[in-house]
Every structure is written in C-alpha cells, then in structure tokens.
Amino acid sequence: MSMKHIFVQGSRPEAPVLVLLHGTGGNERDLLPIADMIAPGASVLGVRGNVLEHGMPRFFRRLAEGVFDEEDLVARTHELKAFLDEAAAQYSIDRNRMVAVGFSNGANIAASLLFHYSDALQGAVLLHPMVPLRGKELPDLTGVPVFIGAGTNDPICSISETEELHSLLSDAGADSELHWANYGHQLSKLEIDAATAWFERHFNSKA
C-alpha cells in the first residue's frame, strides 16, 4: 500500500478505528499508548508520513517553521484519503467509522482532511494543530465531532491560530470542542484525559 503503517485489531469491533497520525520525526507506532488511553480496546491504524525533513518523517512539506507548502499539503491530503480508503478495504474496516488522532504535523494533516472532505473522518482528536489552509471553503461538517487540544504557552500554535481553527470548523457545522492546558507544544496528561472524556461522550455511547 502507499503508506507505511501498522494495523492492530482491537477487542471492541463496535468502536471506531483510531487513525494515528504522528508529529514531525515520529512514526506509525508513536501514538499507540495515547490510543490505548483514549479508547481502550479500539482497533488502530497507525500511519507514517511519506515526506522526510532532514530524515524525519512528516505528512507534508513545509517551507519554514509554521509555513506550509500548501501545494504539497493538498496533494498529501488526497494521498492520505486514498490510503484510508485502501486500508478500509484491506482490513475490512467500516470506512465510515474512522476517527483521527493526530499530534502537531499529524493533527494538521487530519485537519486538512476535514477541510477537504465531509466524509473522510467520523471525528478527530487534533492535538496542537494549526490552520492547514486559509481562504478555502470548507465542506459541510455538520455533526462531525472534533476535539482540539491546545497549550496556552505553545510557541508554535498561538492562541489566535487555535481559536481560528476552532471557529472555522464550527462555522462549517462541526461539533468542535476546544480544550486548553497550561503547557507548550507537547502532549499533557490533562489534555489526553479531556480527549478520553470527549471520546467517551461522542462514541462509546453509540458503540
């Protein structure tokens, strides 16, 4: 298949499959412990980005810190969507029951999926994301639950950037929830606990 990945069949087939999207320099296994905290027993599809930056995997190129190569971002977004379609067929996954869990660069590609497709994801946990594209009309995301985990001291994702993404998703109809923690650009137990509670509310009650 077109992207290096790992699929782990969970003990709860009724739960959504978590699509794990790592940050810069990570790999398809990085977020497995996070997935186990957010949705114990769920199947997981960990994906590795196809772009290398000084040897570090990413999901799309950037021109500088915080400056995306938008043409590459769009192409890689379509590439990831096609991969998810292929993986659903290969592993007999319900394509309509995929929830992304992305950190940093992985959160940005997940947000870009939402910006391009109304049906690519059933929901998303975006941990320290940025606005992937500006000036783009978003698809109808009515009812799509999105969790945004952010740090008030994040030097990469500013408060205004985070609030802008939250507003764009909400304006497109997404059920976007924004959680702040007093941290920088790293994962914290507080935000993972909040994401776990969010997932419980939105998905376990429907399982």
Q: Is 185 a catalytic residue?
A: yes
What is each CA distance from 74 to 115, 128, 149, in whole angstroms?
10, 20, 23
Residue-wise pLDDT for 36-79, tens only, equals 999 999 999 999 999 999 999 999 999 988 889 999 999 999 99
What is each CA distance from 65 to 102, 104, 105, in whole angstroms?
18, 12, 11
For residue 184, being part of any structural domain is answered with: yes
For residue 37, being part of any structural domain is answered with: yes
Predicted local distance difference test score (pLDDT) of residue 15: 94
CATH number of the domain to which 180 belongs: 3.40.50.1820
Does residue 207 carry a pLDDT above 70?
A: no
For residue 92, being part of any structural domain is answered with: yes
Of 154, 166, 176, 202, the active-site residue reads 154
Does residue 205 carry a pLDDT above 80?
A: no
How is 163-191 classified by DSSP, letter by letter? HHHHHHHHHTT-EEEEEEES--SS--HHH
Please state the rounded mean pLDDT for residues 148-152. 96
Residue-wise pLDDT for 85-104, tens only, equals 999 999 999 999 999 999 99
Q: Is 154 a catalytic residue?
A: yes
Residue-wise pLDDT for 128-139, tens only, equals 999 999 999 999
For residue 1, being part of any structural domain is answered with: no
User: How many domains is the chain built from?
Assistant: 1
Of 22, 43, 104, 128, the active-site residue reads 104
Of 170, 185, 188, 193, the active-site residue reads 185
Helix boundaries (H) for 64-174: 70-90, 105-116, 159-171
Which uninterrupted H or E stretch holds 62?
strand 62-64
For residue 66, being part of any structural domain is answered with: yes
Residue-wise pLDDT for 169-187, tens only, equals 999 999 999 999 999 999 9
For residue 24, being part of any structural domain is answered with: yes
Instruction: Give the domain range for residue 136.
Output: 6-204
Q: Is 104 a catalytic residue?
A: yes
For residue 12, being part of any structural domain is answered with: yes
Whole-number Å distance between alpha carbons of 157 and 41: 31
Contacts of 88 (CB under 8 A, 6+ apart): 94, 95, 98
Burial class (CB in 10 A: 0-12, 13-18, 19+), 149: buried
Of 132, 119, 93, the residue nearest 5 (C-alpha) = 93
